[in-house]
Structure 1
Amino acid sequence: MRSDHDASDMPEAPSRSQRRREALALFDLGEALLTLPPSRLAGIELPEDVRTEIAHVRRITAPVARKRQLQFLAKLMRRHADAVFAPARAALGGDAVAHRREVANAHRLEALREHLLAEGDVALGELLQHHAQADRQNLRALIRQARGERAGNRPPHAYRELLRQLRALESSSSRSADSMPDDATN
């Protein structure tokens, strides 16, 4: 028999799939918290029982036992409200954004290095327009040596040094831009 209550009046419980996704998300969060250095973990607000269990899991080295304890950690985390772990998610999310930014910058510098090797003096002139403090003679020598290493199938010492120089150039220009007063940059 049907009751007088409408089905839409009853709050719908999460589906089994949804509960499983949430449990796996907490498992992944626990795994990510284990990878953080203790100094970073100390700055994140966590319940005390979760913090002690993280310390316990870190001491375990056997892979199967570690996974079992990690599952227990996830079970402990499920006992707490989801909002309790918002600071931990925010801290880990910020790391992901910074990591993506660093990777994108590394790819950009590698592409610049390849452009310098392919185009030579034309690309070097473009680079020097943006970075006037760069040592033209040293960069030109590194480009020439890297081309020779590639042609002679030798170890890429100059190729790597060219990337180091580009990184140093990039960091020095970003530091000088950060040290400029606001009215000078406008």
Structure 2
Amino acid sequence: MNATIDDEDGYEDEERGPSKSQLKREKLALQALAERMAGMPRAELERLNLSAATWAALDETPRIKDIRARGRHWKRIANLLEREDMAAVHALVDQAEDRERKAAAHLHALERWRERLIADDEGALSEFIDACPEVDRQQLRTLIRAAQRDQERGRPDAPRKLFRFLRDSLESSTEM
């Protein structure tokens, strides 16, 4: 190694390069990215111009069951990904994560509406009707009463029906 010795910590900064820890963090990040990509739908991944070796490794993923073999497999895919266009890969994964966050936020909002309506929260019904003016009010009230009864009895059927009704109503109101 042709590094010059410095008084403070042994080597000059220009000649160091990334530390072993930094290199390991980058490898682990690539392995996590490989796991994430393996869980994505093939149609989404086809937008990337991946090499044949990377496709072969991704296609092989479902058949690997052993946890140790799976760990080696993620390392193999990570090594293959280093040769790919990482900007496109990161953009695709970021888009997928953004869609998942939005979908989760939407489901949480629906769950809050359902909880408020079942709890007979002051103004929840009128707020929902304001948010979805074309909603069938009679059917909504019937579903709320049934959900309240079923919740007291510990049954999940009517609250599920209410949730589906709220989801469909909000989706139809946002399409307009």
TM-score bracket for this pair, using the shorter chain length: 0.7 to 0.9
- Mapped partners of 1:63, 1:163: distance in 2: 38
Shift of 1:11: 4.5
Shift of 1:113: 1.2
Which deviates more, 49-58 or 25-34? 49-58
Decide which of 49, 56, 62 is 1:52's aligned counterpart.
56
Shift of 1:167: 0.5
Shift of 1:18: 0.6
1:32-77 Cα offsets, whole Å, 9 max, x none, are 1211222222222223332222223444333332322222222333
Could you list the runs of 5+ residues in structure 1 that have no partner in the other structure?
177-186
Aligned to 2:37: 33
What is the correspondence of 1:147-162 to structure 2 with a 5 Å cutoff?
147-151=148-152, 153-162=153-162
1:87-134 Cα offsets, whole Å, 9 max, x none, are 111111111111111111111111111111223684222222232211
1:62 and 2:63 matched: no
TM-score of the superposed pair, with normalisation by structure 1: 0.79
Could you list the runs of 5+ residues in structure 2 that have no partner in the other structure?
6-10
Aligned to 1:77: 81
Amino acid corresponding to residue 137 of structure 1 in structure 2: Q
Shift of 1:154: 3.8
Aligned to 2:97: 96
Which deviates more, 22-31 or 37-46? 37-46
* CA spacing shift, 1:123–1:67, aligned 2, 3 Å: same
Aligned to 1:17: 21
TM-score of the superposed pair, with normalisation by structure 2: 0.83
Aligned to 2:147: 146
1:107 and 2:104 matched: no
What percentage of aligned pairs have identical amino acids? 32
- Mapped partners of 1:130, 1:32: distance in 2: 36
Amino acid corresponding to residue 73 of structure 2 in structure 1: Q
Superposed CA RMSD in Å reads 2.4
